[in-house]
Amino acid sequence: MRTGCLFPVWLATCYSSFSVILLREGAPPSSQDTLAGILGRKGDAVNWIALKMLMGDKSKYFAIVFGVSFACFLIAEQSAVFCGVMLRTTSQIRDTHGADIWVMNTGVRYLDDAKAISDDSVFRVRSVPGVAWAVNLYRGQGQAQLADGTYQAVILMGLDDATLAGAPTHMLLGSIGDLQIPDAILVDEAGFHQMWPSEPLSTGKVIEMNQRRAVVVGVYRASQTFMTLPIIYTRFSQATLFVPPPPTGRLTPFVLTKAQPGLPPEQVARRIEAQTGLKALTKQEFLDLTMQYYLRHTGIPVNFGTTVVLAFLVGTAIAGQTFYLFTVENLKHFGTLKAMGMRDRRLIAMILIQGMVVGGIGYGVGVGLATVFGIFSQRAMPLLAFFLPWQVLALSGAAMIVIVLLASLLSIRRVLVLEPAVVFQGGS
Amino acid sequence: MNPTTPTRKGVTCRNLVKDYGSGESRVRALRGVDVEIAPGELTLLVGPSGCGKTTLISILAGTLDATSGDFSVLGVNLQRLSKPAKADFRARNVGFVFQQFNLLPFLTVAENVAVPLIINGSSRATATTLATEILHAVELGDRTQSFPSQLSGGQQQRVAIARALVHQPRLLVADEPTSAVDARTGHAIMELIRQMALQPDRVAVVVTHDARVFGFGDRIITLEDGRVASSKRGERSFTHDPLAPA
Ligand SMILES: Nc1ncnc2c1ncn2[C@@H]1O[C@H](COP(=O)(O)OP(=O)(O)OP(=O)(O)O)[C@@H](O)[C@H]1O
Ligand SMILES: [Mg+2]
């Protein structure tokens, strides 16, 4: 679980605990009726009859709530995995701390689309007013040859030799400073396990890149990336030696920049663009650009969209079915109330109240399940992408409302066409 | 008391016709019913199965629309009322007793009896208090917190009678109230309906084909094949004057 999404998780947990408490309403037959009591007192006593009907049969009540919870769980979980995957497309941008502006080739469409810019760009950027500092950042793909001769594709990051700006922050072994040692590299934890499976983390491992020796001097923890390649950090000058010389002769893909204190990074970025002709994006703009690219040009949204839509349909079917069946099973009672003079709109209100309570509790339980699933699955399977921003909570909430309304509409229809005369005809 | 006093409105039907379905599958259940039902009497509606008894009381209670004919219930022409107005009429003026009791299984006995008052807009507290009072009158004062499923058939029907009368309706309709219980309980139930329901301005119609309870009626209307075959004064063999002060 990432910081920044703790609030929704907290909210979901609180709300779902509350829902579970309300769910227990269904357990005692009639002695306690907190929810029914509250709603019955606030609105009118008809609401209370509606809730008594809903919770009167414990097993039916649990079945309906389970149906709705399951629907909500499916939707929230699938959406959260989608968000997790989308988030991974930008993890490297987010993991690069310190700088607030990325300067790059105007043709760059997303992070992995790095195209080289002229190697003196960093000086031109430094001369732009408002720039506090600017350093080169190398990023490219490399081939690592392991001791046993196998090859492993890696992402190679080269930090400014003097400042090491943009270095990883979460070191597990060794320190950033060790990068100053000749041939030194840092490997991310997941990458280490990928290259040396079932070996404990250690320094001193040696690999070869572009026929040059590289020594692991530290292991750090990175956010999961989309491609799940090992991410190797080294100094800029070193990085350019670990890859074959590019045909253009240009080596620099990015210049990391910090705006002077008090100046909005957006403004400085626009100035850099105007003065250098390069593309300059704030961290957030670069995140958005990259995510937009994946959203527009890859199959991820379509594929996940399908899953989410399927989850929605399956959920609607399950929840709608159980709720509708519940109404049908209670049709006789609705008929009795109708014969006794209850108006149609009161009957509609009864069904809507039942739907809202089922939806509200089902939503809480479902979102709670999704959250618990997210927390535990991330422990068990670090490769699983799971990110629960508030938007997912809102989306599942909206989906719940739609599901409950659809189910209620069917039920309402049944009750409206019900002739009050049927009460005399049953069983005679 | 004189049941023909014109100010006391009962039920009047002229040439009442009811068809179920249409076209080929049309069934004429009532073929021109002419009937007067006076308030202050217990009227029994009898006749062979399928003769239209249920159809007739459903129309009188306002749960079913007639196909043609004129009728007025308690001085109201139900055919002219809109659907919600008809629902309101039922809520205020009609008490129902059903063959299968139709109690709500998820409510306690007292809560069940409170339902007509709640439909009429009473608060839960007021409704439950009144319900408990009337349950004492039907000798179920000690079962108010029970659920219907914990009661015998006869007890459930007594709850249903309490529910039918708790809001002081001016029309009581009962369809075969004794057919789901044994003979002794049936008598007790008819006795109770006589005691509780009969009031000078209240119309009480009980559908029955249970010959054992015919003796409870002040008037016995016999339907045959959708028409009134006869309307006679009852023998009143079972009880003393129901309207005498207790
Ligand atoms: N909903 C309906 N649709 C079609 N026909 C119906 C319907 N209800 C009743 N009928 C028909 O109308 C006629 C009168 O029915 P009704 O139920 O009024 O008889 P009843 O006297 O109450 O009979 P029972 O003593 O068996 O209850 C019957 O022929 C019946 O088949
Ligand atoms: Mg009948």
User: Residue B28: which CATH number?
Assistant: 3.40.50.300
Q: Which residues pair with A337 in a beta bridge?
A: none
Phi, psi of B178, rounded to the nearest 5 degrees: -110, 0
In this structure, the residue with its CA closest to atom 26 of ligand 1 is: B49
Cβ of B20 closer than 6 Å to ligand 1, yes or no, is: yes
A273 plus A304 within the same structural domain: no
A79 plus A168 within the same structural domain: no
Residue for token digits 């919870």? A69
What's chain A's average pLDDT?
85
Q: How far is A45 from chain B (nearest CA, A)?
A: 6
Q: Is residue B1 part of a domain?
A: no
User: Under a CB-based contact definition with an 8 Å cutoff, are residues B123 and B143 in contact?
Assistant: no
For the CA of B46, the nearest ligand: 1
Over residues A265-276, the pLDDT tens digits come to 999 999 999 999
Domain count, chain B: 1
Task: Name the strands in the sheet holding B203-207, side by side, starting at the edge strand that comes first in the sequence.
Answer: B94-97, B171-175, B203-207, B42-46, B219-224, B227-233
Domain containing A240: what range?
A: 118-277
Domain count, chain A: 2
Q: Is residue A294 part of a domain?
A: no
Q: Global pTM?
A: 0.79
- pLDDT-derived band at B39 (thresholds 50, 70, 90) equals very high
Residue that terminates a domain, selected from A221, A246, A277 = A277
Q: Is residue B241 part of a domain?
A: no
If you measure from the C-alpha of residue B30 to the centroid of ligand 2, how many angstroms do you get, rounded to a whole number?
A: 13
A123 plus A214 within the same structural domain: yes
Rounded to an integer, the average pLDDT of A24-31 is: 46
Task: Name the strands in the sheet holding B27-37, side by side, starting at the edge strand that comes first in the sequence.
Answer: B27-37, B11-20, B68-73
DSSP structural state of residue B74: T
Q: Which atom of ligand 1 is nearest to the CA of A428?
A: 27
**Beta-sheet pairing, B42-46 with B219-224:** parallel
B91: closest chain A residue by CA: A341
Q: How far is B162 from chain A (nearest CA, A)?
A: 14
B49: closest chain A residue by CA: A428
Which tokens is B48 given? 């062979």
In this predicted structure, the answer to whether residue A30 has a pLDDT above a threshold of 70 is no
pLDDT at B241: 47
How far is CA A144 from its chain centroid? 31
Q: Is residue B116 part of a domain?
A: yes
In this structure, the residue with its CA closest to atom 2 of ligand 1 is: B20
Helix (H) or strand (E) holding A396: helix A390-417
**Beta-sheet pairing, A151-159 with A212-220:** unpaired
**Beta-sheet pairing, B203-207 with B27-37:** unpaired
Q: Which residues of A touch B119 (CB under 8 A)?
A: 46, 337, 340-342, 346
Q: Is residue B177 part of a domain?
A: yes
In this predicted structure, the answer to whether residue B188 has a pLDDT above a threshold of 60 is yes
Q: Is residue A284 part of a domain?
A: no
A103: CB partners within 8 A, 6+ apart: A117, A121, A125, A134, A254, A255, A256, A257, A272, A276, A278, A279, A280
Domain containing B110: what range?
A: 11-233
Q: Is residue A196 part of a domain?
A: yes
pLDDT at B3: 39
Q: Give the Cα separation of B213 and B230 in Å (integer).
A: 18
Q: Is residue B244 part of a domain?
A: no
A169 plus A307 within the same structural domain: no
ipTM: 0.91
Beta strands in A226-278 (DSSP E): 231-235, 254-259
